[in-house]
């Protein structure tokens, strides 16, 4: 029996919710964007009218307004979007307990049960679209297929407020002619590498020699080839099952460009503090530290390193980040934004080998001290305790890397 899986994607989610609360803007091009004055001036999402002018997610506000001078830009209200996301999920859970969120505005729903046909899935998709439109005032596009990858692909094919079905007996004629970049997990870098192999459509990928793909893309090449051939068998995670955390990170666009190594030390220390605090809160330690940096020309680079021992200490994470920065980025100032990420996570209750030098005992005492600082910040605010290196820059000292960092619930795909 084939599975029946739906993928629901709310159309222009943030902008659609804002237009509900600002009905006077429904017939105008609207975008939800960052704060240009705080140097976070990019488009987060836009409505259909703005799309017609060519406004794109991720571009600068000034670029968007060159295309659409009448564009109305609103600040994001994440608590409002979370509330609508929860309302949608409650509707989804009336049809199946197997609902897996993919960001605030997307979710997979597994309807598979004895007696549930593919046609039943298509009918349910139409019913879901009607209910969300009538009960919440926004629209969703729904993909229906026999696996998660193609269900997601279907929800992207027709927008807004549409159902796209990709049954097993027709997936080749529907899916294979599409550009390979339409397949989930084929990003710009992978698309360029595939293009060098003359793989430009999903069908090309499906028919490509697996050994060739593995040679150029590693295990990921084999996985993408399987996806293109409809061989995704990953489950839709039940509503009460948490996805394993794969990494913890943070990034920021500071109040001014980073122009020297002191600026970099200040910002990476701030980021390391927030990431280390989240590691401790989740009961985790990290073995891998990676950083990214974006120039004022919006060119982004990244690099990573493995640590000798898993850690959740701010100082060790910051030192690793700064070594990476000095080795890769320090000669190319200025930088507009930077990010720090920790991965290869292990539980913090894993046994630790002590040493004769007392270094491991010192690290344990340092972790206890940082947990005490975490408690102080939870009670009195993040900036009740600040490191001296941060205070050298008054503007950066006002950054709150914990409360200013919005974490979107986008689970790592468990394929």
In the three-class reduction of DSSP (H, G, I as helix; E, B as strand; rest coil), residue 25 is classed as helix
* DSSP string over 338-366: EEEEEEEEEETTS-----TTSHHHHHHHH
Q: At what angle do helices 314-328 and 261-281 cross, to 10 degrees?
A: 140
In the three-class reduction of DSSP (H, G, I as helix; E, B as strand; rest coil), residue 413 is classed as coil
Q: Which of 362, 341, 114, 118 is nearest to 246 (CA)?
A: 341
Asked if residues 88 and 8 have their Cβ atoms less than 8 Å apart, the reply is yes
Q: Which of 190, 15, 213, 36 is nearest to 104 (CA)?
A: 15
- Cβ atoms within 10 A of the Cβ of 255, count? 14
Beta strand 5-10 with 140-145 is: antiparallel
Residue 10 neighbours by CB under 8 Å, 6+ apart: 16, 84, 88, 105, 106, 132, 138, 139, 140
18, 106, 316, 370: the catalytic one is 106
Distance CA 409, CA 287 (A): 23
Q: Which of 394, 60, 374 is nearest to 254 (CA)?
A: 394
The length of the chain in residues reads 415
Instruction: Report cis status (omega within 30 of 0) of the bond before 334.
Output: yes
* DSSP string over 138-201: --EEEEEESSHHHHHHHHHHS-SS-EEEE-GGGHHHHHTTSBGGGSTT--HHHHHHHHTTT--B
CA angle 277-278-283, nearest 5°?
A: 100
Told to judge if 241 belongs to the known catalytic residues of this protein, a careful annotator would answer: no
In the three-class reduction of DSSP (H, G, I as helix; E, B as strand; rest coil), residue 274 is classed as helix
Active site residues: 106
């Amino acid at each position: 029996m084939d599975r029946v899986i739906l993928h629901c994607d709310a159309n222009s989610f943030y902008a659609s919710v804002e237009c509900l609360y600002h009905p006077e803007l429904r017939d105008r091009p609207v975008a939800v964007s960052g704060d240009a004055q705080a140097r976070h001036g990019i488009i987060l999402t836009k409505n259909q009218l703005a799309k017609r002018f060519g406004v794109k997610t991720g571009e600068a506000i000034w670029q968007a307004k060159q295309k659409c001078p009448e564009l109305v830009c609103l600040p994001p209200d994440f608590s409002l979007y979370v509330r609508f996301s929860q309302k949608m999920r409650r509707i989804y859970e009336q049809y199946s307990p197997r609902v897996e969120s993919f960001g605030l505005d997307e979710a997979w729903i597994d309807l598979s049960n004895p007696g549930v046909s593919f046609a039943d899935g298509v009918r349910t998709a139409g019913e879901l679209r009607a209910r969300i439109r009538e009960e919440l005032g926004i629209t969703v596009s729904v993909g229906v297929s026999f696996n998660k990858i193609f269900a997601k692909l279907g929800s992207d094919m027709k927008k807004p407020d549409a159902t796209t079905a990709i049954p097993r007996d027709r997936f080749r004629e529907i899916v294979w002619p599409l550009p390979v970049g339409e397949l989930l997990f084929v990003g710009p870098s992978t698309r360029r590498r595939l293009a060098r192999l003359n793989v430009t459509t999903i069908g090309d990928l499906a028919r490509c020699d697996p050994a060739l793909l593995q040679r150029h893309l590693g295990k990921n090449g084999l996985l993408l080839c399987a996806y293109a051939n409809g061989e995704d068998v990953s489950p839709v995670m039940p509503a009460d099952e948490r996805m394993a955390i794969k990494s913890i990170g943070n990034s920021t666009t500071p109040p001014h460009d980073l122009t020297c190594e002191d600026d970099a030390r200040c910002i990476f220390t701030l980021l390391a503090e927030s990431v280390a605090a989240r590691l401790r809160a989740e009961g985790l330690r990290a073995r891998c530290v990676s950083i990214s940096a974006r120039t004022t020309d919006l060119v982004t680079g990244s690099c990573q390193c493995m640590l000798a021992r898993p850690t959740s200490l701010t100082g060790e994470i910051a030192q690793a980040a700064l070594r990476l920065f000095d080795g890769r980025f320090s000669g190319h100032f200025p930088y507009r934004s930077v990010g720090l990420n920790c991965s290869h996570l292990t539980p913090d209750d894993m046994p630790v080998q002590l040493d004769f030098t007392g270094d491991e005992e010192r690290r344990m005492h340092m972790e206890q001290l940082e947990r005490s600082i975490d408690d102080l910040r939870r009670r009195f605010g993040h900036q009740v305790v600040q490191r001296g290196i941060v205070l050298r820059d008054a503007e950066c000292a006002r950054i709150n890397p914990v409360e200013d960092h919005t974490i979107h619930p986008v689970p790592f795909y468990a394929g």
